[in-house]
Amino acid sequence: MSVCKGIYHVLIYAKTEHKVALRMVLIPILNLNMEKRIVIVTGGAGYIGSHTVVALHESGYRPVIIDDFSNSKPEVLDGIAKITGVKPQLFSLDCRSKNDLLEALQSCTADGEVAGVIHFAAYKAVGESTEKPLDYFENNIGSTVSLLAAMSESGVSNLVFSSSCTVYGQPDQIPVDESAPILPAESPYGYTKQACERLIMDAFKSSMPLSACLLRYFNPIGAHQSANIGELPIGHPNNLIPYLTQAVAGLRNPLTVFGNDYPTEDGTCIRDYIHVMDLARAHVASIAWLESNSPSCEAFNLGTGTGKSVSEVIAAFEKTNGIEVPYAFGPRRSGDVVAIFANAEKAHRELGWNCEFNLEEALRDAWKWQLQLAQA
């Protein structure tokens, strides 16, 4: 029995006047909470997952986290609670286990109405995936197979999948829209995103009751404005912003800018950097869209629509935060595409979603988070 249900029963059988008065106040509050539709978030303690849990809470859903903390920390749930006032319910399990997933999903369906599942749980380091392809295939594809099977058995039919603009490789046209061809993957990581998209589309075409949004992220950066949650890379950060903030904080060697001889205006690569809270809100919009557009299976680009070069990002960071970035130009990194940014018109039109933050605000929040980490 959940704590909420336990309190509810104690109150139902209360006899004293004091308890009756308390019951009159508390039962409507508890009922309100029970009535909130549940959204199950695999990888909900991770970077984008934790911000999405906050956004779901703020939009009136009841997020329930599934995470095995293989690439995150349980303390993230305390950070979420500081923002929302509620520590989310947690199922600590490995998403490759269909039986464990099924048990968690059935427990949620017994507890309330489940609006859908958001599936973040996956390994995500491009470089590491070339060293450990078996782990990436087994974990990323295996967990998606198990999740689809558990959803089918438990009668949960709405799925939001965490995909990536990596599926496009270097597109012929930028900004890139969702009709661009899926190119052969550069890395095992990229291949797992393509394979999972394909798997979900095939399941959608089958007799399985399923609706899905395939969300193709561009480059999420920044942190919640409160700095209670943010990105927690374990070990050497591979992505630009966590490395940059750690270098500025003196925790790493100066940043190496990977290549300044690309065919762009300043010679450095161009990406579409999106504030993680904007990305988080797009997941809430996707769940709401699925609730009123089933059956559907659609891909959506999630980016700002504006490309910025690495040199522009460094300059914007210095100007916004009033601090110098130590860096040097180095050789190109293998597998990097020259330039990519999103045409996100479909997400604006269909999901009714737009970005609220600009690059400077995202860089301000990334630095605020790094400063907070130093104090912790």
Binding residues vs ligand UFG (CB under 6 A): 124, 126, 164-166, 219, 238-240, 243, 255-258, 269, 271, 310, 333, 336
How remote is the C-alpha of 108 from its chain's centroid?
21
Q: Which two tokens stand for residue 256?
A: 């190496």
Distance in angstroms (rounded) separating the CA atoms of residues 73 and 77: 8
Q: Identify which of residues 73 and 333 has a Cβ nearer to ligand UFG in the complex.
A: 333
Q: Identify which of residues 87 and 332 has a Cβ nearer to ligand UFG in the complex.
A: 332
| Contacts with 26 (C-beta within 8 Å, 6 or more apart), sequence order | 7, 11
**Looking at the annotation, which residues are catalytic?**
189
Q: Identify which of residues 48 and 83 has a Cβ nearer to ligand UFG in the complex.
A: 48
Compute the least distance from the CB of residue 357 to ligand UFG, in Å. 17
b/e sequence 197-234, b meaning 16+ C-beta within 10 Å = beebeebbeeeeebbbbbbbbbbbbbbbeebbbbbbee
Compute the least distance from the CB of residue 301 to ligand UFG, in Å. 12
Q: Identify which of residues 88 and 169 has a Cβ nearer to ligand UFG in the complex.
A: 169
Pairing of strands 158-164, 114-119: parallel
Nearest residue to 157 via CA among 187, 188, 113, 193: 113
Distance in angstroms (rounded) separating the CA atoms of residues 235 and 76: 17
Compute the least distance from the CB of residue 243 to ligand UFG, in Å. 4
Q: Identify which of residues 218 and 289 has a Cβ nearer to ligand UFG in the complex.
A: 218
Helix (H, G, I), strand (E, B) or coil at 329: strand
Compute the least distance from the CB of residue 222 to ligand UFG, in Å. 13
Residue 149's φ and ψ, nearest 5 degrees, are -65, -45
Compute the least distance from the CB of residue 322 to ligand UFG, in Å. 22
Q: Identify which of residues 84 and 239 has a Cβ nearer to ligand UFG in the complex.
A: 239
Compute the least distance from the CB of residue 151 to ligand UFG, in Å. 25
Compute the least distance from the CB of residue 255 to ligand UFG, in Å. 6
**Start-end of H helices in the chain:** 3-12, 17-35, 47-58, 76-84, 98-111, 126-131, 133-136, 142-154, 188-205, 240-248, 276-293, 310-321, 345-346, 359-375
Burial status of residue 184 (CB atoms within 10 A of its CB: 0-12, 13-18, 19 or more):
exposed
CB 45 within 8 A of CB 51: no
Nearest residue to 242 via CA among 232, 228, 254: 232
Nearest residue to 123 via CA among 142, 104, 106, 139: 139
Q: Identify which of residues 140 and 166 has a Cβ nearer to ligand UFG in the complex.
A: 166
CB 111 within 8 A of CB 2: yes
